[in-house]
Amino acid sequence: MKKMEVKEHKKLVLKNILRREVRGITSDDFNRELLMFHKFIERERVQTFGPLVIVTLGTQVLGDAITQDFDLIIQAHNYKKYSLQAQISERFECSNCIYIKFEGHPKDLHYAYSKLDLFLYENELESDGKTYSIVLEETGNYTTIDIFLPVKST
């Protein structure tokens, strides 16, 4: 097992992005939304570069229902062409992040997020509430994900 190391003062920069907002969905519906986004990219022949970025924005508890808010982001050469179907942006930058790379079985991914949370606690830092997960590789039993967690400036 590889040791995961938290790094500070990292910057995430994305260019020519297509963003799809996914709000108020259950974790069961997340995979359906992700599949729909992939089908949109294939159907429209979007000329992508770089991996998928999943932005976790928050969780809400309403009675027995737990819902989450996400953004799905992909970088595309021809991004301006899709301004009616998705939010577009020429450049996105997120500074002052803590960062960790996870490599392993997907069931163990929660350890990476826990390690970032522990790092925030031990260093008396505060997250801005967003998490950027960049899916570099994904197979049935193995995944590689870069995780950026923006930190509020003190």
Q: 57: closest CA among 11, 24, 92? A: 24
What would the pLDDT profile of 129-141 be if each residue is shown by its tens digit?
Answer: 999 999 999 888 9
The CATH number corresponding to 7-150 among 3.20.80.10, 3.40.50.10490, 3.40.50.10800, 3.90.79.10 equals: 3.20.80.10
| Number of other CB atoms surrounding residue 32 within 10 Å | 12
pLDDT above 70: percentage of residues in the chain: 99
Over the Cα atoms of the chain, what is R_g?
16
- Tell me: pLDDT of 6 over 60: yes
What would the pLDDT profile of 33-67 be if each residue is shown by its tens digit?
Answer: 999 999 999 999 999 999 999 999 988 887 788 88
- Whole-structure pTM value: 0.90
| H helix intervals, 1-153 | 27-43, 109-122
Cβ atoms of 106 and 143 closer than 8 Å: yes
Amino acid identity, residue 15?
K
Q: Where are the domains of the chain?
A: 7-150
Rounded Cα distance, 2 and 125, in Å: 25
What would the pLDDT profile of 8-42 be if each residue is shown by its tens digit?
Answer: 999 999 999 999 999 988 877 888 999 999 999 99
What would the pLDDT profile of 139-153 be if each residue is shown by its tens digit?
Answer: 889 999 999 999 997
pLDDT of residue 116: 96
